[in-house]
Structure 1
Amino acid sequence: MIRYAASRLLSLVLSLVAASVVIFALVEVVPGDPAAFMLGLNASPETVAALRAELGLSGSVVSRYLGWIGGMVQGDFGTSYTYRVPVSELILQRIWVSVPLAGYALILSTVIALPIGILSAARRGRPVDYGIMGFTQLGIAVPNFWFAMLLVLLFAITLQLVPAGGFPGWEAGFWAGMTALTLPAIALALPQASILARVMRSALIETLGQDYMRTARAKGLSEGQAICRHGLRNALIPVLTIIGLQFSFLLAGAIIIENVFFLPGLGRLIFQGITQRDLIVVESVTMLLVFAVITVTFLVDIAYAAVDPRLRRR
């Protein structure tokens, strides 16, 4: 188990290094000068050069990369070109929207997907199974931003049950904050729930065909008892992978939903950084999200070892 965890940890570190190089290189090749963009077309070359030096853009590519990485290791994400405040402050302000939103959506996705996936597997080949698979296919096909707009039209504009967008802040109360995140969380959760339900169904159907499941039923256990006592544990291995990847996607890929609902999260911060040529914000926030994705993947691998003892001997 220790060797397995160490190998996964080494893979995590190497992935982070590779991701940092790719992110920095991609941002570097973006056309345009942030200093010239900030000062406007009428700025003199001397003024632009002075601002580039102030922003740390005048050094070599290697020195700027090493300075950026060294600062992030020490907790210094740099200073925003646009807001002129440390990027870490912007992240701390926005992360309290993005993380609860991703967690809320993941809980909804899991609560919806696992029961219907189990039901579909237990009723395989019957009308219930066909109906569930049809709805999940529709959930995968419909873009989440289009579904988000339908939710706003129905629940916010027509029924006026929840706000159409914006976030009041957690100082307004937990209930107010969760109410503002409900529609975005549903819009994010339903497509993910469709994927997770199909994975749960496929994994459980494969498990139901194993010899130990037939033995359990032959000993007098009902179908439901055999599934609950023996089938779910083994079927959860691929499901854990999807849940981990879904949290990563929900955290890092909610930029469109955050813009639809005007939520001040990390995704919207990246979007604003791109439009304002605030490269240090784009680099640092993207790297933070990559770190979150890779860390979640590492935790999923460790969870694998906890569920499947065969991995502990590798």
Structure 2
Amino acid sequence: MLRYAAKRLVSLAISLLVASLVIFLVVEVAPGDPASYMLGINAQPDTLAALRAELGLDMPAAQRYLHWLGGMMTGDFGTSYTYRAPVAGMVADRLQVSLPLALLALVLAVSIAFPAGIHAASRRGGAADTVVMGATQLGVAIPNFWFAMLLVLLFALKLRWFSAGGFPGWEQPVAALKSLALPAVALALPQAAILTRVMRSSLLDILGEDFIRTARAKGLSQRQALWRHGLRNALIPVLTILGLQFSFLLAGAIIIEQVFFLPGLGRLIFQAITQRDLIVVESVVMLLVFAVIAVTFLTDLAYAAVDPRLRARR
């Protein structure tokens, strides 16, 4: 297991290095100059040159890349061009919103999808299966930002059970969790629909295997065979989707955070792009890439724990 994990860690490090180079190059070739944006179109050339020197934008691209990469390895993401504040501190503040939101949405998605998928698979072709599949089709088809606006209209404006947006801070934990409830539901239900379909399909594939038929021949009911032998073997594709979903929930909640006015990573990226704050864009995107790769690594370890045969193949 340790050898397998070490190989995956080497692959993770190489992926991060390649990703950092791609992110830097993509951001660098984007049109526009941060110094010109900050000073406006009427800025004098000497003032513009002084600001570029202060921000380090006059250095060669290779030197700036190595400086940025070295800083990230020591936890220094640089200083925001716009806010003149350390990017690491800005990211830490925004993670206090985005990370709990992603975790809450993932817990909701799993809590809905696992029972629904297992229930549908155990009653294949029945009324319950039809209802679950119809609900998941609707969940996949509805855009989450449109669903988020419906939640605001119903629960915030009409029923007044929740606020329409904003985040009060974790000094008020009950109010903070309440402010994340609607965004988490808006993020979770489409993901739960996808996860339910994957869980059902995976279980149905497993229920057709020879070892399930053998278990049934020994006297186990279909439900007993499903819980004792089918569920663990069906988890591998489900774990893949779970890893991808967590990465999406952490990195892809930009629109939801805009709808609910949440000061998370999504809004930070959006604001940094509009303000040409390149160092913030590079650092936050790199952090999100790291999160995706790290979750993939943990998913691979979960594969190996669920099915030891995978360790012997790699």
The alpha carbon displacement at 1:146 in A equals 0.5
Matching residue of 1:215: 214
The residue aligned with 1:202 is: 201
- How far is the alpha carbon of 1:218 from its aligned partner? 2.1
CA distance, structure 2, for counterparts of residue 180 and residue 290 of structure 1? 27
- 2:231 — aligned with what? 232
Deviation at 1:112, TM superposition (A): 0.3
Q: Which moved more, 1:130-139 or 1:244-253?
A: 130-139
Match of 1:101 in 2: 101
Q: Could you tell me which residue of structure 2 aligns to residue 125 of structure 1?
A: 125
Structure 1 residue 211 displacement after superposition: 1.6
2:259 aligns to what?
260
Aligned position for 1:12: 12
Q: What is the SS of the residue equivalent to 1:220?
A: coil
Matched residues in 2 for 1:32 and 1:49: separation? Answer: 15
| Structure 1 position 127, deviation (Å) | 2.2
Deviation at 1:3, TM superposition (A): 2.8
Q: Measure how far apart 1:18 and its partner are.
A: 1.2
**Cα offset, 1:5, TM superposition:** 1.5
Partner residue, 1:307: 306
1:24, 1:283 within 8 Å by CA — same for their partners in 2? yes
Question: 2 CA distance for matches of 1:105 and 1:142?
Answer: 17
Aligned to 2:245: 246
Q: Which amino acid aligns with 1:163?
A: S
Tell me, yes or no, if the aligned pair for 1:77 and 1:88 is still in contact at 8 Å. Answer: yes
Q: How does 1:141-152 map to 2 (within 5 A)?
A: 141-152=141-152
Q: Which residue in 2 is equivalent to 1:41?
A: 41
Query: Which letter does structure 1 place at the counterpart of 2:36?
Result: A
Per-residue deviation at 1:128?
Answer: 1.7
Distance in 2, matches of 1:305 and 1:200, equals 19
What is the TM-score normalised by the length of structure 1?
0.98
1:163-202 matches, within 5 Å, as 163-172=163-172, 174-202=173-201
Matching residue of 1:2: 2
Counterpart Cα distance in 1 of 2:253 and 2:114: 23
Partner of 1:281: 280
Name the Cα RMSD after superposition.
Answer: 0.9
The match for 2:135 is 135
How does the TM-score come out when normalised to structure 2? 0.98
1:88 match: 88
State the partner residue of 2:156: 156
AA matched with 1:65: Y
> Would you say the 8 A contact 1:117–1:201 is kept in 2?
yes
User: Post-superposition shift, 1:2?
Assistant: 2.6
Which letter maps to 2:209?
A: Q
Please give the secondary structure, in 1, of the residue aligned with 2:58: coil
Give 1:219 deviation, angstroms: 2.1
Rounded to whole Å, the distance in 2 between the matches of 1:109 and 1:163 is 22
Residue pair 1:4, 1:311 contacting (<8 A) in 2 also: no
SS of aligned partner of 2:171: helix
Within 2, Cα distance between the matches of 1:154 and 1:223?
A: 42
Q: Distance in 1 between matches of 2:221 and 2:165?
A: 48
User: What residue is the counterpart of 1:269 in the other structure?
Assistant: 268
The Cα of 1:309 is off from its aligned counterpart by 0.8
Deviation at 1:99, TM superposition (A): 0.3
* CA–CA distance in structure 2, aligned partners of residues 115 and 49 of structure 1: 61
Residue identity opposite 2:156 in structure 1: A
> Which residue of the partner structure matches residue 72 of structure 2?
72
Q: Number of matched residues? A: 313
* Alpha-carbon distance in structure 1 between the residues aligned to 2:215 and 2:163: 51
Question: In the alignment, which residue of structure 1 is the partner of 2:116?
Answer: 116
Take 1:56 and 1:131, find their aligned partners in 2: how far apart are those partners? 59
Taking the aligned partners of 1:260 and 1:11, their CA distance within structure 2 comes to: 37
Query: 1:141 offset after TM fit, Å?
Result: 1.1
Distance 2:176 2:230 in 1: 38
Give the distance between the partners of 2:75 and 2:250, measured in 1 at CA: 20
How far residue 74 of structure 1 moved from its aligned partner, in angstroms, is: 0.8
Partner of 1:50: 50
